[in-house]
Structure 1
């Protein structure tokens, strides 16, 4: 049922109302796999494509749709460069790294949570008496899968390098990835794991639902705020089509059935993009590269 709601909602998300388009075109949607987790990618792609085909033919007079899930941004590079994709959903960290090499224009940013940008918290159990990162050497860590986990680990690697410690892959005995933030926090709560990194809003939500979580878990460190996911259009896409998609997505929180779709992605709102949304993440990546180069010389 959850998968059906997800696919049906995505169909209406991208194609909410009739907009004329030239016949002979196939609308191509690209999705980098890291932007979602907990859903069977192939099942989602097939079901979404079937629904998109009907919606496009009925309301857009286009020949059909093609939904492509790429394992990473490198797999999508050629299709973005030759203009094959009309819309691409990708992690902000990927966009920053390759923005000068792809022909896509960011128009929307989706915070994985209620705001356009999120902070992350490193949590430990209060009873562990852990006061600093250095005490976690050869301990185990839990992070979320997908874009959130990769952002969290990049922030963590930067913290470790700033303290002249090895990066996370060498510093921790094990780094486990899980589908949900609750599956990261609860093992730490029960003393089955040494630490976890989750989005701050997820921690605050769980602590509100269960005050014992807020009492037993301690914030060891907190990241700056980062945007997580961008939606980019192909240059030259029909303005009417692009505007229709943008307007509909921004109105999704006003409709209960559409809010359910957003919640499946842990998203409450999608905002118009401005370059300022990437500034803190760009600064983090620059800092990481500087520290990496310095440590390589030592």
Structure 2
């Protein structure tokens, strides 16, 4: 199971209090809800053997409903995508928390991948470009559409949606798409598995827009408890048990998430909406 679920696990490892934790389904679109629930139950039961801490988990299909419950203080910690926070949550209610991260700073940033011999100009000139991306990864769609609005507003993008990001890379590799919009980490890993991918494909554009998940406490959640949980989470890799947890969730470390981290996503979303209205789409 990927690091998207790690913040849920970390909330159970200290402090004998209770917390309501919400997870947006948009953040786990590579996994089924059933599989997620099974994995989380196994790990929760393991950790609950040695702690009095309790937490109730809620999975939301609707970011609007999740934001509403957060606003009404039914939730203490929310983990979802940056786009979901930008679109549906009041920033003044958000307090820094944490999420899974990578050693490389830009590993989760969105990139545009093209065939090695093709250029962005050629991509933007197409009337019906085929773009491969992970199903439900809204930030990838927003990013590529904004670029087309600016370069060729007449283009009609045909999306080739895949269950996982690496599958989007393969669609491009086998000539089923004109471009793939994934994360840098995905492309780097694909090249390691198959060096031919690195020879046949290239990163044509690297953004500063992160596709990772973000976690935030509610501003009215017990500040001492929030700080204790956050401090523990950020230091989890220092223990053998913590390293085991990070390995299982396939993440390098736990990183702090702040409201400022959402600014690049908020900016591109505003620009995208403005261009969409301007082009009547």
TM-score normalised over the length of structure 1: 0.77
Pick aligned residue for 1:83 from 70, 73, 87: 73
- Mapping for residues 186-201 of structure 1, pairs under 5 Å: 186-201=170-185
Q: Write the distance in 2 (CA, Å) between the matches of 1:185 and 1:67.
A: 33
1:172 aligns to 2:157 (yes or no): yes
- Give 1:268 shift: 2.7
State whether structure 2 residue 236 is matched by structure 1 residue 252: yes
CA distance 1:116–1:269, shift in 2 (3 Å):
farther
Max Rg structure: 1
SS in 1 for 2:210: coil
1:13 matched residue in structure 2:
10
Aligned to 2:236, what secondary structure does the other structure show? helix
The question of whether the paired residues in 1 share the 8 Å contact of 2:132 and 2:180 is answered with yes
TM-score, normalisation: structure 2: 0.81
Q: Shift of the alpha carbon at 1:110?
A: 4.4
| Other structure's SS at 1:256 match | helix
Q: Specify the SS of the correspondent of 1:220.
A: strand
Partner of 1:274: 258
Q: Distance in 1 between matches of 2:92 and 2:220?
A: 14
Unaligned runs of 5+ in 2: none
1:236 aligns with 2:220: yes
The C-alpha deviation readout for 1:190-229, integer Å capped at 9, x for no partner, is: 2233321111122123324433212210333332343632
C-alpha RMSD over aligned residues: 3.4
How many residue pairs get aligned? The number is: 278
Kept in 1: contact 2:160–2:177 (CA 8 A): no
Greater strand content: 2
1:163 to 147, 151, 155: 151
> Which residue matches 1:71?
61
Alpha carbons of structure 1 residues 67 and 42: separation in structure 2 relative to 1, 3 Å = farther
What is the match of residue 221 of structure 1?
Answer: 205
Q: CA deviation at 1:166?
A: 4.6
Range that drifts further, 246-255 or 80-89: 246-255
Segments of 5+ residues of structure 1 without an aligned counterpart are none
